[in-house]
Amino acid sequence: MSTAANNTKPRRVLVTGASGMLGGAVAQLLRDKGHQVRTFQRGASSQATDEIRGSLTDQDVVATAVESMDAVIHLAAKVSFTGHWNEFVATNIDGTANLLAAAKSAGIKDFVFVSSPSVAHFGNSLAGASAGVANPNLARGNYARSKAAAELSALAEDSPEFRVAAIRPHVVWGPGDTQLVERVVDRAKSGRLPLLDSGVALIDTTYIDNAASAIVRGLERMDYAHGRALVVTNGEPRPVGELIAGICKAGGAPAPKLNVPGWLARGAGSVIEKVWLAAGSRNLVHDEPPMTRFLAEQLSTAHWFDQRETHEVLDWKPTVSIDEGLAKLTTYYGQL
């Protein structure tokens, strides 16, 4: 494979959302590969790099962030199972639009938009599915709908002069993960973690190291990836109950025993989410509701994907298996 095709030459790369687990891993991997990294996020990123703090809604700060950069990897987003629509619009849709406009104006050539398979998951089971087309009208939940709209807007900007690729890592987890692992362990310890339909739904996930390497590979392989949306997973579908049990064991928590019918959880989730939102912003800042319709659908329907296109386009495969990732997670919790 030619160097030009892989774009492995050191570059100046802006990484948004580097205070999060995945954004931080991407920034570190870029640095390890010899790239010059600037991070952009609201708070401190713990990354020893050029850092700019601010909001994607501030056009002046965004313009400063992209100045002198060669490429952008955009991970910053409002990620939540619940929340008011206008909050998702401000960050995920309008914020992405601000970043795209600033990047084009600054003469940046490559833009990797980190998306989610939920943008094309409409509540039905996905078994060996392709990436599918993002659809903000059919995606489930405000996060997925807003990311779908942002992905479509980003890919619409793709051209030979401004290349855009969408990389969709699926259910990313690993040591230090507060989005999935910490919530699973905490709720299991307090007895608030049910299995839906006995946990038999087959799902795939992505260990953090694999997700980060695929995203960076998207930038390196922009000659082939631009204009595309690619789902990234470990390629190891497992019953959701088995995966949750593995995470619980790693974190020293009992595996859940309570079983709830999926149809009941989906209905209850719709009600709980409305009540949670009506309760005001205090709950939304400190915790997520115990169940939402989107979460119930994710826990009770299959969602695993055909990875052949991703492997071919990125010339990439995951290097850390699910079992290896669980072992790393066990070591992490043992050191706390």
Check residue 284 and give its pLDDT. 47
Residues labelled as active-site residues: 143
Asked if 26 and 212 count as a contact pair (C-beta separation under 8 A), the reply is yes
Check residue 290 and give its pLDDT. 67
CATH class (in words) of the domain with range 11-172+205-233+305-319: alpha beta
pLDDT at residue 283 above 60?
Answer: no
3-state secondary structure of 207: strand
pLDDT at residue 270 above 70?
Answer: no
Mean pLDDT of all residues in 132-149:
94
Q: Supply the Cα-derived Rg of the chain in whole angstroms.
A: 19
pTM beyond 0.85: the answer is: yes
Per mean pLDDT, which range of 41-50, 183-192, 203-212, 274-283 is the poorest? 274-283
Alpha-carbon distance of 14 to 112, in angstroms, equals: 10
Check residue 215 and give its pLDDT. 98
Which residues fall within 8 angstroms of residue 149, CB to CB, at 6 or more apart? 92, 93, 134, 136
Mean pLDDT of all residues in 140-165:
96
**3-class SS string, 143-162:** HHHHHHHHHHHHHHCCCCCC
Mean pLDDT of all residues in 233-238:
96
Domain boundaries, the chain: 11-172+205-233+305-319
Could you give the residue ranges of the DSSP H alpha helices within 221-292?
Answer: 222-225, 240-250, 262-278, 281-286
